């Protein structure tokens, strides 16, 4: 609770939080903000630059970029959130199992992590996208699995560090079950770095998804996902740079806000860092 109080005093972090909240609200209330539909095609008005009707211009099919970016928040933020949640969840479950049980379980899990980490994360994401087909849910899985092994390691390290603490020995003495110990006693003490990782990875996930779109994978049209829009616009950079600039700005602002928030969170959770 003290962490929240510190966080609330951190103006930059709050700025980040506000921006994120605004982005979420914009995406949720998009239908009330804009008169266009995100898949409303207007072939008389293709690739137009920013005008009063289309404040961020239109794309190759005459769709309003601003509208697509607003709606795109649902896909992009959703993608960032769910991929991060999934990735961190895998990290927490598998990592704490490894850390808590130790021994052979730990060894097997860690060697598996070694193996996965030996393959570049982008490649894992590419291969998963290809084998399951492109699409929104697949992309979430691809991103989450590509980055899960780091989280597993992090979580395991955390659990290892508290496992020897006295309160756990006490809990074991009074015959608490492993599950109970894990959830009641260990989790609360090791969660802070995971929350941090989670926050920081949201922006990163959106960026990696954009990268996947560049090589023809990832979220596919007609979904107005920011990364997909950015990557589709890159063929137009010479004459219609607004197709690249605005989606890029949205991704950038999101990443920036989330990083501000994450930094504040770190300071709040780990106050001795802030000198």
Partner 1 sequence: MKKTKRVLSLALALLLGAAVISGCATKSAAPADTTAAPAAAAGEAPAASQAAPADTQAAAPAAPEVGSGEEPEVVGATVEAVPVIPGAYTGVVRDVVNVGISGDVGDWNPFIFGTPTAELALQGMYQYLAYNFNGQLYPCLMKEYSFSDDGLTIYGELFDYIHDSAGNPLTAADVAWSYQMNVDMGGTGIGDVVQECVATGDYTFEFHLKEKLQVGRLDKICKFYIVTKAAYEASKDEMHTTPVGTGPYKLVEYTSGSTIKYEATGNYWQTDPQYITRCDQSNVNNINYYIISESSQRAIALQNGTIDMCMEVANEDLKTFESSDKYRVYPLISNYNIIVAPNCDASKLTADVNLRLAICYAISSEAILESVFAGNGNVNHEMSPSWAAGYLPQWDGEENYYLYDPAKAAEYLAKSSYNGEELTILCNTTEDQTNTAQLIMSFLSAVGIKSTMLALEDTSYRDYLKVADKWDIALRLAGTNTYYLDFIYGEMSKAKSKMEGTWNFAIDDELQDLINFTVLQENATPENIEKLHEYLIEHCYQYSTVNYMEYKVVPEWVSGVSLSMGKIIVPGGCVYTQQ
Partner 2 sequence: MGRYILHRLLLTILVVLGAAVVIFTIMHFVPGDPVEILLGNDATLEQYAAKRSELGLDKPFLIQLWNFMYKAFLRLDLGASWTRSTPVLAGMLERLPRTFLLGILSIILTTVVAIPIGVNAAIHQNGLQDRGLIVAAMVFISVPEFWLALLLIILFSLKLGWLPSFGIESWKSYILPVVSGSMASICTLARQTRASVLDVVHADYITTARSKGMVERDVIYGHMLPNALIPIITMIGMSFTACVGGTVVMEQIFSFPGVGLYLSDAISRRDYPVIRGCVVVMAAFTAILMLFVDLAYGYVDPRIKAQYISSSAKKGKVNEKRHRRPGPKHHSGHGNESQ
Query: CA 182, CA 12: separation in Å to the nearest integer?
Result: 35
Note whether 161 binds partner 2 by CB under 8 A: yes
Binding range to partner 2, per CB under 8 A, among 34-42, 59-67, 80-88, 255-263: 255-263
What residue ranges bind partner 1 (CB under 8 A)? 11-12, 15, 39, 41, 43, 46-47, 49, 60-62, 130, 133-135, 216-217, 220-222, 232, 234-242, 244-245, 248-249, 252
Residue 116 site contact among partner 1, partner 2, none (CB < 5 to 8 Å, cut-off depends on kind) = partner 2
* Alpha helices (runs of H) in 102-119, residue ranges in sequence order: 103-118
Is 248 in contact with 231 (CB distance < 8 Å)?
A: no
Beta-bridge partners for 204: none
Residue 273 site contact among partner 1, partner 2, none (CB < 5 to 8 Å, cut-off depends on kind) = partner 2
Closer to partner 2 at the Cβ: 55 or 119? 119
Binding range to partner 2, per CB under 8 A, among 67-75, 85-93, 147-155, 175-183: 147-155
Query: CA 101, CA 178: separation in Å to the nearest integer?
Result: 9
Q: How many CB atoms lie within 10 A of CB 9?
A: 11
Residue 228 CB, nearest distance to partner 1 (Å)? 10
Helix (H, G, I), strand (E, B) or coil at 122: helix
Residue 40 CB, nearest distance to partner 2 (Å)? 26
Note whether 119 binds partner 2 by CB under 8 A: yes
Q: Which two tokens stand for residue 218?
A: 């990832």
Q: DSSP label at 184?
A: I
Binding range to partner 2, per CB under 8 A, among 2-10, 25-33, 43-51, 210-218: 210-218
Query: CA 275, CA 273: separation in Å to the nearest integer?
Result: 6
Helix (H, G, I), strand (E, B) or coil at 58: strand
Q: DSSP label at 44?
A: T
Residue 64: what are its φ and ψ, rounded to 5°? -70, 120
Query: CA 135, CA 119: separation in Å to the nearest integer?
Result: 23
Question: Within 13 Å, how many C-alpha atoms sit on residue 266's CB side?
Answer: 14
Strand ranges, E, within the chain = none
Note whether 160 binds partner 2 by CB under 8 A: yes
Note whether 126 binds partner 2 by CB under 8 A: yes
Closer to partner 2 at the Cβ: 120 or 221? 120
Question: Within 13 Å, how many C-alpha atoms sit on residue 174's CB side?
Answer: 8
Note whether 92 binds partner 2 by CB under 8 A: no
Note whether 25 binds partner 2 by CB under 8 A: no
Among 58, 158, 201, 223, binds partner 2 (CB under 8 A): 158
Query: CA 30, CA 26: separation in Å to the nearest integer?
Result: 6
Note whether 244 binds partner 2 by CB under 8 A: yes
Closer to partner 2 at the Cβ: 50 or 157? 157
Residues that bind partner 2 (CB under 8 A): 106-107, 110-112, 114-123, 126-127, 130-131, 133, 150, 153-154, 156-158, 160-161, 192-193, 203, 207, 210-211, 214-216, 227, 230, 234, 237-238, 241, 244-245, 248, 251-256, 258-260, 263, 270, 273, 275
């Amino acid at each position: 609770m003290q962490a929240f109080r510190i966080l609330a005093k951190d103006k930059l972090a709050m700025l980040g939080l506000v921006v994120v909240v605004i982005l979420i609200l914009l995406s949720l209330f998009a239908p009330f903000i804009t008169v266009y539909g995100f898949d409303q095609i207007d072939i008389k008005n293709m690739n137009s630059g920013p005008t009063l009707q289309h404040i961020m211009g239109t794309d190759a099919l005459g769709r309003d970029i601003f509208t697509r970016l607003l709606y795109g928040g649902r896909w992009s933020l959703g993608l960032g959130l769910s991929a991060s949640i999934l990735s961190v969840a895998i990290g927490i479950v598998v990592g704490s199992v490894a850390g808590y049980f130790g021994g052979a379980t730990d060894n097997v899990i860690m060697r598996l992590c070694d193996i996965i980490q030996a393959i570049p994360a982008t490649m894992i994401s590419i291969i998963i996208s290809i084998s399951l087909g492109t699409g929104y849910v697949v992309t979430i899985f691809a991103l989450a699995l590509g980055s899960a092994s780091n989280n597993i390691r992090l979580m395991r390290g955390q659990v290892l560090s508290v496992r020897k603490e006295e309160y756990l020995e006490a809990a074991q003495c009074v015959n608490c079950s492993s599950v109970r110990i894990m959830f009641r006693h260990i989790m609360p003490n090791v969660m802070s770095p995971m929350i941090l990782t989670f926050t920081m990875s949201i922006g990163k996930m959106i960026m990696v998804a954009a990268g996947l779109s560049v090589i023809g994978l990832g979220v596919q049209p007609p979904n107005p996902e920011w990364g997909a829009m950015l990557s589709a616009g890159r063929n137009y950079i010479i004459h219609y740079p607004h197709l690249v600039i605005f989606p890029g700005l949205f991704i950038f602002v999101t990443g920036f806000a989330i990083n501000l928030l994450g930094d504040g969170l770190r300071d709040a959770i780990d106050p001795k860092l802030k000198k």
